[in-house]
């Protein structure tokens, strides 16, 4: 199998299509990442100057010399506090800095997490185009027959092709990260990095990209038709682009809000809950309230000292319907993006288990598509 993968890369580096797609990848990455970051004044200010309002609504001139005083890196706030601010207790000092003295903290955090959420987009697009063009030739020019004649089993050929596509995805994702790091150096910006969250997000992006590749390879090897692999790539690319370009796109996000509506009666809240809530806020501050998401009940709620502070009266939904609906949502490879309708922090997605579910369902779809593709491919005859 190692020889097959080595042969794939040898042929790949000599192909015109690969280098054309690499140019497309670099241009697309630049056009997507750089202009978007270039609009963020709090990041680009090191290359210019502008004024902001402080907590007392006085104007403050900000430039390259003092910008770090207003960024997270110079505020004394740890990256962890920024990520966990809604889900874990903070000291009053950290809380006040984040909520009252902040300048750019939210935008800085939003920038790096959004970049990580979109890491798979361009790499997956390039690989989905490359699979029919490159691996499709195994069938069109008879290479597959030669590999079998040389003693390689169909299982080895299929798994080698799968691993080959995974390695391409991983390499392109890390190139995207390097490009982002170069932009940070250019603007002299130290983003708030909290590895326990960002590493989970990185793993999820790699798995989403590999899931898309595995589905495309399954269609190619099961059908032996390049055109069907092209169609599969096109169908896989459409929702991916919609999720990346539209924060609340039409591909399934509404069903999350609809399920939440079906499970909760927001028109009949208990006034006593809000009265107690307001009293605690008045005496202890907002830092006493923590956000929580219950994956078993599909419930987003506010917690105080370990108990639900604001509860919702349940509408009736029979257990079978509820289970079927939740299963459909939790099996979606883009689950993490769908749940954005609740405004959950990325830390809470990790803490509650949503990210773990999302990782697991991508592994599941990789296994299912690969097993199906391999099963059909092994039944094919090559004369």
- With beta carbons less than 8 A apart as the criterion, state whether 210 and 169 touch: yes
Please give the average per-residue pLDDT across 117-134, as a whole number: 88
Helix (H) or strand (E) holding 294: strand 290-294
Bridge partners of 52, per DSSP, are 60
Residue 172 sits at the vertex; the CA angle it makes with 15 and 245, to the nearest 5 degrees, is 115
Q: What is the pLDDT of residue 109?
A: 86
Is 284:90 a contact under the CB 8 Å cutoff?
no
Exposed / middle / buried, residue 307 (Cβ in 10 Å: 0-12, 13-18, 19+):
exposed
Tell me if 313 sits within 8 A of 266, measured CB to CB. no
The helix (run of H) or strand (run of E) holding residue 265 is: strand 264-265
**Residue 363 pLDDT:** 96
How confident is the model at residue 243, as a pLDDT? 61
Tell me how far CA of residue 213 lies from CA of 13, 21, 107, 210, 254, in angstroms.
19, 16, 33, 5, 26
Nearest Cα neighbor of 28 from 40, 36, 38 is 36
- Provide φ and ψ at 308, rounded to 5°: -70, 125
What pairs with residue 303 in β-bridges?
A: 290, 308
| Whole-angstrom distance, CA of residue 7 vs CA of residue 173 | 22
In angstroms, the CA 204 to CA 336 distance is 9
Is the pLDDT at 252 greater than 50? The verdict is no
Residue with the bigger pLDDT between 232 and 315: it is: 232
Residue 362, C-beta contacts closer than 8 angstroms, at least 6 positions apart: 204, 207, 208, 210, 211, 333
Are the C-beta atoms of residues 70 and 104 closer than 8 Å to each other? yes
Question: CB neighbours (10 Å) of residue 165?
Answer: 24
Rounded to the nearest 10°, the torsion over CA 320, 367, 176, 64 is: 40
What pLDDT does 203 receive? 96
Confidence of residue 206 (pLDDT cuts 50, 70, 90): very high
| Whole-number Å distance between alpha carbons of 15 and 30 | 23
359-378: average pLDDT: 93
Q: Encode pLDDT of 56-102 as tens digits.
A: 555 666 666 666 766 777 777 888 888 888 888 887 777 777 777 65
Q: Which helix (H) or strand (E) holds 50?
A: strand 49-53
The DSSP annotation for 16-41 comes to HHHHHHHHHHHHHHHHHHHHHHHT-H
Span 131-184, pLDDT tens digits: 888 888 888 787 888 888 888 888 999 999 999 999 999 999 999 999 999 988
Instruction: Give the Cβ contact number of residue 90 at 10 Å.
Output: 23
Task: Please tell me what DSSP assigns to residue 63.
Answer: E
């Amino acid at each position: 199998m190692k020889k097959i993968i080595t042969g794939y890369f040898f042929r790949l580096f000599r192909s015109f299509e690969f280098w054309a797609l690499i140019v497309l990848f670099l241009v697309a990455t630049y056009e997507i990442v750089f202009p978007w970051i270039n609009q963020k004044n709090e990041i680009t200010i090191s290359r210019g100057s502008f004024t902001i309002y402080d907590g007392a609504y006085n104007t403050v001139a900000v430039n390259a010399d003092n910008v770090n005083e207003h960024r997270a890196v110079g505020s004394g706030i740890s990256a962890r506090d920024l990520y966990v601010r809604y889900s874990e207790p903070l000291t009053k000092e950290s809380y006040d800095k984040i909520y009252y003295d902040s300048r750019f903290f939210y935008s800085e955090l939003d920038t790096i997490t959004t970049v990580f959420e979109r890491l798979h987009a361009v790499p997956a697009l390039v690989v989905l185009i490359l699979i029919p063009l490159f691996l499709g030739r195994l069938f069109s020019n008879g290479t597959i027959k030669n590999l079998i004649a040389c003693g390689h089993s169909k299982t080895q050929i299929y798994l080698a092709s799968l691993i080959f596509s995974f390695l391409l995805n991983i390499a392109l994702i890390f190139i995207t990260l390097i490009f982002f790091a170069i932009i940070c150096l250019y603007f002299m910006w130290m983003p708030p990095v909290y590895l326990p969250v960002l590493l989970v997000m990185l793993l999820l992006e790699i798995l989403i990209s590999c899931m898309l590749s595995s589905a495309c390879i399954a269609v190619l090897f099961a059908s032996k038709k390049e055109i069907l692999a092209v169609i599969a790539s096109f169908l896989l690319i459409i929702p991916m682009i919609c999720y990346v370009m539209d924060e609340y796109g039409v591909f399934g996000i509404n069903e999350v809000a609809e399920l939440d509506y079906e499970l909760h009666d927001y028109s009949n809240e208990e006034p006593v809950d809000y009265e107690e809530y307001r009293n605690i806020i008045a005496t202890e501050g907002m830092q006493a309230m923590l956000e929580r998401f219950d994956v078993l009940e599909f419930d987003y709620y506010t917690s105080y000292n370990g108990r639900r502070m604001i509860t919702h009266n349940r509408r009736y939904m029979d257990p079978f319907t509820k289970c079927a609906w939740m299963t459909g949502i939790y099996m979606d490879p883009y689950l993490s993006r769908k749940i954005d309708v609740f405004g959950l922090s990325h830390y809470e997605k990790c803490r509650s288990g949503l990210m773990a579910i999302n990782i697991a369902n991508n592994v599941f779809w990789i296994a299912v598509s690969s097993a199906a593709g391999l099963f059909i491919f092994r039944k094919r005859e090559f004369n």
